Structure 1
């Protein structure tokens, strides 16, 4: 049972030609040149999706987002059929792991060649049971931009899932320095945004809310699935512009992402928050069982 599986795309973008769309290679073998712009400049995009029983979850939604992110960077349109085939092949080889994930990476390639690079790496997942059951501690950090900066400054690539994650990882390190597990970004004018690797959900009575994607944040695939789950239970769902006071008014909070799934928020800036264990358990059971 392999712990890691790697597929390199031989035809990652539309219009490219290759006998086969990808090839499986040894994940420990060197396959990427140091001249690749994904390495030297973080010039590329990526997606990560969960794998259950050897099947990648929400493949279409992730490929749609990959294509949208690529367009925002003026990268050639990804060949979604090639990426889908590679993703399915990699995920299938992880079927014996209780939980796994695949990461799709698409870069501009070596400067001057005009040929993008693409690969799909699959791996077994760490155990997220503690975060899912005991909750996480969150700190609120200023992202340094107004909530309307995405429309005013599109070159900042807000809402694109780019490889340039240095700021996100620095924020996570700051959270650990403050004794917390994760970060909630807010705009300079006090509007809730997202986590470095997660979307936030707020439960208010029978409503499930999340910040509007018009704020230049990533459209969460797991968040969208959580909304479908909530609506099936008779709840209403909504994308909204929410201030920091919404955190105190919510009955419960969650951070959701493709691999960790739903992690209830136990505290915000050191202030304890109520959790909803029953809803959390049902939501995680639904997310872990999905096969689309």
Structure 2
């Protein structure tokens, strides 16, 4: 039986009042109720989050995740998170959880920051640490469908209030997209803008290999900057391939030599089928990529 660890932050932002708890966070029962039912994170999805892969006790890309949490909070006009406190809470949660799950190599840490109870002016924050699910099958290959995201590629510039590029708790659309993929006999989704450009997956970034060049959609299209994607580029650069952020059309996606969906906990999942058509997979290259990702210690 696996067990989770939960730490609540008593002063999650720099604007929060001082905490009576010296550490600024406290370990609580992960199976007991902890959140006020009127918290705007629950009632409106008004908050942000990050999910960090933890391998052999090492939180991967911790600093980029913390920076992205702060960026998302800024986009939502939530008070600036106290990153020193969040960092300490993550490390404490990992240290507390590892003895509860001996022999478990992969954990995840989920950081959640909400606007708090409506009218209170006090944000809520917590860190949840638990064993990751088994992604062995996904790392061998997934079937993917493309779905229209419903807006143009420049939505972040034309409509910044839609919060494209922020990692918010409002994931109903992403979950609906994954259910649609399942109805179509697929495992995951690549969103396409209404004007024909590749965007991202519901929980992943898209990596496209063509010849000796590895590309990913550029982030000014309302795409969440990927922490794992940055490490993927490092892997391929070490192998002598060029890497670039570009606008990629749906037609270019179909013509790719290989495609991966990459994310913090699942790591790299090669696409074996795109909209019902088979796509080649380099199993050896994918295995090496995932070993590289899993071996990160920072």
Q: What is the TM-score with the length of structure 2 in the denominator?
A: 0.96
Runs of at least 5 residues in structure 2 that lack an aligned partner in the other structure: none
Q: Between 162-171 and 48-57, report the one with greater CA deviation.
A: 48-57
Contact 1:262 1:283 (C-alpha < 8 Å) held by counterparts: yes
Helix, strand or coil at the partner of 1:132: coil
Contact 2:15 2:79 (C-alpha < 8 Å) held by counterparts: no
Distance 2:115 2:57 in 1: 29
Residue 77 of structure 2 is aligned to residue 71 of structure 1:
no
Helix, strand or coil at the partner of 1:129: coil
Stretches (4+) displaced over 6 A: none
Q: Between 231-240 and 266-275, report the one with greater CA deviation.
A: 231-240
Displacement of 1:247: 1.3
Helix, strand or coil at the partner of 1:93: helix
Which residue does 1:145 correspond to in 2?
A: 151
Give the aligned length.
291
Which residue does 2:207 correspond to in 1?
A: 201
Runs of at least 5 residues in structure 1 that lack an aligned partner in the other structure: none
Distance 1:162 1:82 in 2: 20
Distance 1:282 1:183 in 2: 24
Which residue does 1:179 correspond to in 2?
A: 185
Aligned-pair Cα RMSD in Å: 1.0
Residue 196 of structure 2 is aligned to residue 190 of structure 1:
yes
Distance 2:30 2:120 in 1: 25
2:115 equivalent among 73, 92, 108? 108
Contact 1:55 1:92 (C-alpha < 8 Å) held by counterparts: no
Contact 1:204 1:252 (C-alpha < 8 Å) held by counterparts: yes
Distance 1:169 1:149 in 2: 21
Cα distance per residue 1:160-208 (max 9 Å; x no partner):
0000000000000000000000000000011000000010100112211
Distance 2:63 2:252 in 1: 32
Give the direction of change, closer, same or farther, for the CA distance of 1:54–1:80 in structure 2 (3 Å limit). Answer: same
Residue 251 of structure 2 is aligned to residue 245 of structure 1:
yes
Which residue does 2:96 correspond to in 1?
A: 93
Residue 40 of structure 2 is aligned to residue 34 of structure 1:
no
| Equivalent residues in 2 for 1:231-270, closer than 5 Å | 231-270=237-276
Which residue does 1:271 correspond to in 2?
A: 277
Displacement of 1:2: 5.6
Distance 1:162 1:150 in 2: 15
